[in-house]
Structure 1
Amino acid sequence: MDLKNWTIFSLLEPEFVAKIKMACVFGNLGNEALIVTKDDEVLALGSNAAGCLGLGNLNSTLVPLRVDALCGKQIAGFAYGSGPHVLAYTEDGDLYTWGHNGYCELGNGSSNQCWVPSLVQSMLTGKVVVEVACGSHHSLALTDDGEVYAWGQNNCGQVGSGMSANQSLPRRVNSVLSARRCITIACGQTSSIAVTDTGEVYGWGYNGNGQLGLGNNVNQLNPCRVGALAGVVVTRVACGYAHTLALTDVGALYAWGANSYGQLGTGTKTNANAPVLVASNVGRVVDVAATHLAHISAAMTQSFRVYMWGQCRGQSVSSPVATPFSSLHDVFACFASPSVMWQPVQVEQQVCERVADSMRQAFDDQSTSDLTIMVQDRSIHVHKAVLKIRCLHFRSMFQEHWQEDNQSVIQIDQFSHTVYRAFLQYLYTDEVNLSPESALELLVLASAYCETQLKHRCEQIIRQGITVENAAMLYATAIEYQAKELEEFCFKFFLNHMTAIIQSEGFSSLDEQTVKDFIRKAAKCGAFKS
């Protein structure tokens, strides 16, 4: 996926983005982010509510700043609450927490905010944390030996301690889980879910919307097994604000809990307090996603098709809808409210060049080209197949009757080398890099070759690039190429800045007839009335 899909990353330079290994976007408005680079630096940017960026202060920042306490620690993953508070665990299984702590969600024995990441110890000392999860104001950690630890707000039993008092230090969730090995965990706003190595699902905490899947709406102070899933093996769970998704080892997807936005994907908006089989018509599901800060659900099928449903940018979608996305993260970047990550993005290493990069390098490469286009006695090396795929003009030209063996060189006389080269480069890169003056000639070429998208791009360059100095020349060129809309645009700009333009060098170089025609037209528009 492209990190630029997340607004908070839109100002990052490409060179910096290339160094990113992992990133996490969080916060009630999706305006905070943590970044881990390939050289093990940790940086943060955003509004920094409750000191959640870990910078030691409450200052916001548009540029990434180092989180010194985490640099060099080999951070493996993050989780966040809505305070917000943040959890980070390392490759060695150490756990760090910081941010909001009004409900003891940092697990440091106090309820004081912490603006710098601090190591969590107590009962986790000597334990290896392999997964973390956060609800609104409570936290879970899973260790490599399958134990679940919880702490923080516990008004609904979400800590699973058998009581309803907040818990300031991590303690193991015992009861029925003490004899079971867990493989994954998840949190809703005020509920908790764990899956065992035998595929059983257990839930505890708030259950007012049926998000624990127990067949009732009673809060649970201790883990309870989701009995309706007996006989199926669950391998993965994901929790939304008040709903739960469970994926089985055969690719079946179950959902339960709140459904006011259609987030269960059942085709209705009726809550379900027990698991319901959903998305059975999309094929085998291989991954699911949800976040406790939103009411949206997403799934990927075996054929790499991504579906979404629930609250999608304010719309209620009650059945899975196919998207053009290739990643579940794109669903949350483009349609979640707020646009936060359901889990950190692991940025893939580019082992080989992308198609776009290869195409860019192939342009004007004599070693691979099979066609040379001569413009003003200068050669441009291209590929017939690319031109046929990208341009209707060339597709028509290179029909079977065209004698390819005898024509490995084409002569172009109607356009300048600079403009024709820019046109061919556009076919390879989708980019245009020309001055407004040259873009006008390219506009004429685009019109002749029926390249509508290129015409729009040229018009944009000209409109955005017109100045007092070049307005007269653009006006004259628009007349020469019979570009009526641009001629009118330049004329209006001329009228708005007439005194300055008339005094410019560009105006003095206009031919006499163009000047006379302009004065006549300007007079009709009342430009000379006192």
Structure 2
Amino acid sequence: MPMKDERGDLDVSEVVKPVQATLSSLKMLDVGKWPIFSLCSEAELQLVRQACVFGSASNELLYTTVNDEIFVLGTNCCGCLGLGDVQSTIEPRRLDSLTGKKIACLSYGSGPHIVLATTEGEVFTWGHNAYSQLGNGTTNAGLVPYHISTNLSNKQVIEVACGSYHSLVLTSDGEVFAWGYNNSGQVGSGSTANQPIPRRVTGCLQNKVVVNIACGQMCSMAVVNTGEVFVWGYNGNGQLGLGSSGNQPTPCRVAALQGIRVQRVACGYAHTLVLTDEGQVYAWGANSYGQLGTGNKSNQSYPTPVVVEKDRIIEIAACHSAHTSAAKTQGGHVYMWGQCRGQSVTLPHLTHFSSTDDVFACFATPAVTWRLLSVEPDDHLTVAESLKREFDNPNTADLKFLVDGKYIYVHKVLLKIRCEHFRSSLEDNEDDIVEMSEFSYPVYRAFLEYLYTDSISLSPEEAVGLLDLATFYRENRLKKLCQQTIKQGICEENAIALLSAAVKYEAQVMCISLNTSFFHLTLKKKSSLP
């Protein structure tokens, strides 16, 4: 059950979950942009609903299916696939030890190690553990998922974050727990001794309600419900935003953001991005690839505004394994800056992508995912596809034609948009039934369907009748389609009838073609005679 904050009625999980849902839900994500997915069959890809690509060379993959099964594949460095061995696999293998568990969030370290939280708020870890980053009290590699219960048994974890070799989790009551490598104070304990089990990060966070966490390579960040940002750990590149380069062993507020309400924080390898409630982005830290978006490569130890465009930013993206930054605007534009396939992009660059995830798939090194992807089924219809589906649909139509005793259901506004004849004839017509006797049912239905689909599907003989209609309604494009259909369907049996129709409807180009075709058919017939 969600836990209430003892300092008020705020349920942190209710604050974080809507944001996570917005940031993690992707319509029609093309997972094929990550090369490792090429190891999966088409049938397997159709089942993918969540996915994470990780590893130093983006050689590991974890994904869940529509049946809530978890599969892994890849090089399996340090047992990071959780299969109980260190054998690589190019075929997806089911992670049986987590059967029945649904993933809420996931993060990975450089070892790599994995920290996963379920929808029930449980935490599991596995993989590289030389610095106790698995939180199980040892430094032995974790070959299978380990349920972390120490100090978390009565907590519901709603967000996880990994640095290179340390781990953070956020609970529903706004508390942060940390463990792992601590040479620079990144677990926030006040010392530089490694932390083998989860311990709550206190200090300045003691009476704060945290709503978002993130990790750089060797630093940690937390956003509290008042919009303040607290930082700790390594600061050699100014990635803590404190105006200095000294390490910080306990949480410290970023004073330079006084009066600015931050909603989200994202960390790159050694740089930091924050997103404010006004849609503004600030950046600080390492800038050797232009990852701060300032137009130069100078490090910044204070928050610096990132100028993207007038439209407000609604999403920021970075991950501790890369020097790449990305952002998405309210208008759907995606920008990137920083390392781009080894090159430096020092100012925000407008991409052709619709998702920040694509930036990391195509531009970042390594090409990993910066968050757990959520892939929805391909049920999106284009405008053209939607119109095709609505033709002759009595449930949505507001007009029907009665032809040869049969109804054809259509929409007045579409007919008026698509056909000059209907634009005038339906202008003052309030009837919902129009009787049609000039043309046959197949012909008139084909005409109306053409207005919805831009195509026709008729026999050459029926296309002659449609050609008559197209001539009557002055639909020149439809006339050409009819002529093509007739020409392509000419044979010995129908040649004379089709040629007569062409003459009748003054289809000059078709006449020439039909005459030629008729001539060849005649020659062929003569050559076959004894």
Say yes or no: TM over 0.5.
Answer: yes
Equivalence for 1:338: 366
Q: How does 1:360-399 map to 2 (within 5 A)?
A: 383=450
1:101 aligns with 2:129: yes
1:280–1:411 CA distance, 2 compared to 1 (3 A): closer
Residues 342-383 of structure 1: CA deviation (Å, up to 9, x unaligned): 1011112445545687699899xx999999xxxxxxx99984
Number of aligned residues: 402
Return the TM-score normalized by structure 1: 0.70
- CA distance in structure 2 between the partners assigned to 1:251 and 1:315 by the alignment: 28
**Does 2:273 align with 1:245?**
yes
CA deviations on 1:432-480 (whole Å, 9 max, x unpaired) are xxxxxxxxxxxxxxxxxxxxxxxxxxxxxxxxxxxxxxxxxxxxxxxxx
**Partner amino acid for 1:213?**
G
Give the CA deviation at 1:254. Answer: 0.4
| SS of 2:292 mapped into structure 1 | coil
Mark the CA change 1:233 to 1:404 in structure 2 (over 3 Å): closer, same or farther. same
Q: Secondary structure at the match of 2:36?
A: helix
Is it true that 1:412 corresponds to 2:440 in the alignment? no
For structure 1, list consecutive stretches of 5 or more residues without a partner in the other structure.
372-378, 389-397, 419-530
2:146 aligns with one of 101, 108, 118: 118
Q: 1:156 aligns with which of 151, 159, 184?
A: 184
The match for 1:85 is 113
Return structure 1 stretches of 4+ with deviation > 3 angstroms. Answer: 349-363, 366-371, 379-388, 401-409, 411-418
In structure 1, distance between residues paired with 2:471 and 2:326: 50
Q: Distance in 2 between matches of 1:417 and 1:338?
A: 55
SS, match of residue 209 in structure 1: coil
2: CA distance, partners of 1:306 / 1:104: 37
The equivalent of 2:11 in structure 1 is: none
| Contact 2:308–2:348 under 8 Å retained in 1 | no
Q: Report the CA distance between 1:385 and its aligned residue.
A: 7.2
2:208 counterpart (180, 184, 190)? 180
Specify the alignment match of 1:69 in structure 2.
Answer: 97
Does residue 47 (structure 1) correspond to residue 75 (structure 2)? The answer is yes
Displacement of 1:16 in angstroms is 2.4
What 5-or-longer segments of structure 2 have no aligned partner? 1-28, 392-407, 420-445, 456-466, 491-530
Is 2:387–2:452's contact at 8 Å kept on the other side of the alignment? Answer: no
RCO higher in structure (CA 8 A, sep ≥6): 2
- TM-score, normalisation: structure 2: 0.70
Task: Give a deviation string over 1:398-449, Cα, whole Å, max 9, x none.
Answer: 9xx975458867143898679xxxxxxxxxxxxxxxxxxxxxxxxxxxxxxx
Partner SS for 2:362? helix
Counterpart for residue 156 of structure 2? 128
1:186 partner letter: A
In structure 2, what residue type is equivalent to 1:298? A
Question: 1:281 corresponds to which letter in structure 2?
Answer: E
Tell me by how many angstroms 1:187 deviates: 0.3
Q: 1:474 maps to what in 2?
A: none
Change in 2 beyond 3 A, CA 1:16/1:199: same
Q: What is the CA distance between 1:75 and its match in structure 2?
A: 1.5
1:15 paired with 2:43, answer: yes
- 1:266 aligned to 294, 300, 305, which one? 294
Separation in 2 of the partners of 1:46 and 1:356? 40
Write out per-residue CA displacement over residues 207-266 of structure 1, whole angstroms, 9 at most, x where no aligned residue: 000000000000011011100001011000000000000000111110000001000001
Q: 1:357 to 1:24 in 2, by over 3 A?
A: farther
Instruction: State the distance in 1 between where 2:305 and 2:177 align.
Output: 30
Q: Aligned to 2:220, which of 192, 201, 225?
A: 192
Give the structure 2 partner of residue 223 of structure 1.
Answer: 251
Query: Pairwise mapping of residues 455-466 of structure 1 onto structure 2 (< 5 A)?
Result: none
Which letter does structure 1 place at the counterpart of 2:190? G
SS at structure 2 position matched to 1:45: strand
Return the letter of the residue paired with 2:159: E
Matched letter for residue 85 of structure 1: H
1:144 aligns with 2:172: yes
SS in 2 for 1:145: coil
Structure 1 residues 130, 310: closer, same or farther in 2, change over 3 A? Answer: same
Superposed displacement of residue 5, structure 1 = 1.1
Distance 1:87 1:414, change over 3 A: same
SS in structure 2 at match of 1:130: strand
Residues 158-184 of structure 1 deviation map (CA, whole Å, 9 limit, x = unaligned): 010001011110000011111111000
The structure-2 alpha-carbon separation of the partners of 1:113 and 1:367, relative to structure 1 and needing over 3 Å to count, comes to farther
